[in-house]
Chains A and B, each alone.
Chain A
Amino acid sequence: MSDRPLQEPTLLLLTALADEPRHGYGLIQEIDAISQGRVRMRTGTLYGALDRLLQQGLIRVEREEVVDGRARKVYALAEAGRSALVAETERLRAVVAEAERRMATRRAFATGPKGALA
């Protein structure tokens, strides 16, 4: 993996698999929920991403099953995928912490001691 930030669809997919393995439609629903309805991943886009992540070794096929006559593959996060997700989470956490620090500095400056300039 490169040290470039993950693109949002990749980040959402890895996040959706972080707690438990899921099948294709389950991933679409989970991504919808994680992004609070902002990202609606369609079947072709999802499948393209799954192909790539499988190829990169970030996810793996946990098992194949047939439910209600429908074929399903259940995908799980591979060790490399978990490492990539941890690295991205740490990067995002650092950005959030820095943003909060700067906003707090600005707030303190804006609401500084009254009459300081008088």
Chain B
Amino acid sequence: MTERHQPRALRWALRCHPAAYRAEHEAELTAIYAEATEDAGSLGRLREALDIAGHGLRQRTGLGSGRTAGQILAQAAPLTVAVAAGSGVASLLWLFTPGIRTLPSSSLPGVLLLADQGLVPLIWLAALAAVWTGRWTVARTLVVPATLLRLADLPLLLLAHFDFHGIYTGAVLNLTVPLLTGALVLAAPKDLLGTSQPQRAAMTGTAALAVLLWGAQLLGDIYHAPALGGPRTTHTLWAGVLAITLLFTRRHRLPAAGLAVAVLPAALQTTVPLLHPLSPAGAGALLVVLLSGAVPFLRARATPPSAA
């Protein structure tokens, strides 16, 4: 199959690869594509082309399964789903706990927003169930609507909110956090994704942690609970988890880095509002995260080469 005779979807998918890689592997990729899609319909051909495009983008961005970044993403993907599902449980609690919702349910944007807040957690819980049973294609497919619905929160929030004070930070976070969460799951190299017993245990622990932390933050926000340190302290909990995880990246490189990446969206969502405008809690959280990130590098530099 010459380039002129390649289907358009395949040509587009092959262009996603770096030029050098493409020059070396294009003929073989084209041959495998041709054989794999011989009896396939247009949807089958499109899915095959998308998979090749994904491979090309991973090659281009250094996220292939042979690279450390790709391996970290593969560790992070199931845990990211667990964090999102755990946050979904907290969202449902928020939604169904009477008297705490601040969104108006009388206007259409408010109603749509509430429906969105109810639907997205259910999709993430379904994605968690899919990952648990090893159905990664289903899980990754579910992540797309979950991300798009979360992105729809922003215009709805703008329509529903009359008080625009501080909306800028919120708007940026409402865009970046769902996009980052979705990207972490979708970018992970598929050939490294599976569901082993240790991974299930890690997912259970991470989901439980997420419910606990988001629950604590919710309680802190509602009741300004002094026992929990008040809202400012509970908002730094995810940054604390990130900091602790970073400390372990030298000894348990891939699992610890995977967890750090998985909790990053939650840490951003909860810590950034404390930094803009800057609060003592936010400055403290940022400092702790930076120090924890630096410790493994400092230890590595301090270790004599003979002891390594």
CB-CB under 8 A for A43 and B33, given A51-B65, A70-B1: yes
Bound-complex Cα distance A118 to B194 (A): 49
Contact of A72 among B25, B28, B51, B66 (CB under 8 A): B28
Q: Chain B: which residue is nearest A28 at the CB level?
A: B36
Q: Contact at A72–B55, with CB atoms within 8 Å?
A: no
CB-CB under 8 A for A46 and B32, given A9-B190, A52-B65, A70-B1: yes
CB-CB under 8 A for A28 and B191, given A48-B65, A51-B66: no
Interface Cβ pair total, 8 Å cutoff:
97
Taking CB atoms, residues of chain B closer than 8 Å to A8 are: 134, 194
Q: Contact at B28–A71, with CB atoms within 8 Å?
A: yes
CB-CB under 8 A for A43 and B193, given A24-B31, A25-B36, A48-B58: no
Q: Answer yes or no: B121 CB below 8 A from chain A CBs.
A: no
Bound-complex Cα distance A56 to B28 (A): 21
Taking CB atoms, residues of chain A closer than 8 Å to B189 are: 45, 48, 52
Q: Answer yes or no: B47 CB below 8 A from chain A CBs.
A: yes
Q: Contact at A73–B28, with CB atoms within 8 Å?
A: yes
| Highest count of chain A CB atoms <10 Å: which of B32, B47, B189 | B32
Question: What is the interface residue range for chain A against chain B?
Answer: 20 to 34
Closest beta carbon of chain B to A28's beta carbon, Å: 6
CB-CB under 8 A for A47 and B36, given A7-B193, A42-B48, A55-B66: no
CB-CB under 8 A for A48 and B52, given A9-B190, A25-B31, A72-B31: no
Taking CB atoms, residues of chain A closer than 8 Å to B65 are: 48-49, 51-52
Q: Answer yes or no: B56 CB below 8 A from chain A CBs.
A: yes
Closest beta carbon of chain A to B50's beta carbon, Å: 8
Q: Answer yes or no: A44 CB below 8 A from chain B CBs.
A: yes
Q: Answer yes or no: B53 CB below 8 A from chain A CBs.
A: yes
Taking CB atoms, residues of chain B closer than 8 Å to A7 are: 191-194, 196
Bound-complex Cα distance A42 to B17 (A): 16
Q: Answer yes or no: B34 CB below 8 A from chain A CBs.
A: yes
Q: Answer yes or no: B215 CB below 8 A from chain A CBs.
A: no
8 Å CB interface, B36-52 against A: 36, 47-48, 50-52
Q: Contact at B51–A42, with CB atoms within 8 Å?
A: yes
Q: Chain B: which residue is nearest A2 at the CB level?
A: B254
Q: Contact at B52–A5, with CB atoms within 8 Å?
A: no
Bound-complex Cα distance A56 to B1 (A): 31
Give me 15 other A-B pairs in contact (C-beta within 8 A), A10-B191, A28-B36, A70-B30 excluded: A5-B196, A5-B198, A8-B134, A9-B190, A10-B192, A25-B32, A43-B29, A43-B51, A44-B50, A44-B54, A44-B55, A45-B189, A49-B65, A70-B35, A71-B30
Chain A interfacial positions (CB closer than 8 Å to B): 4-5, 7-10, 24-25, 28, 41-49, 51-52, 55-56, 69-73
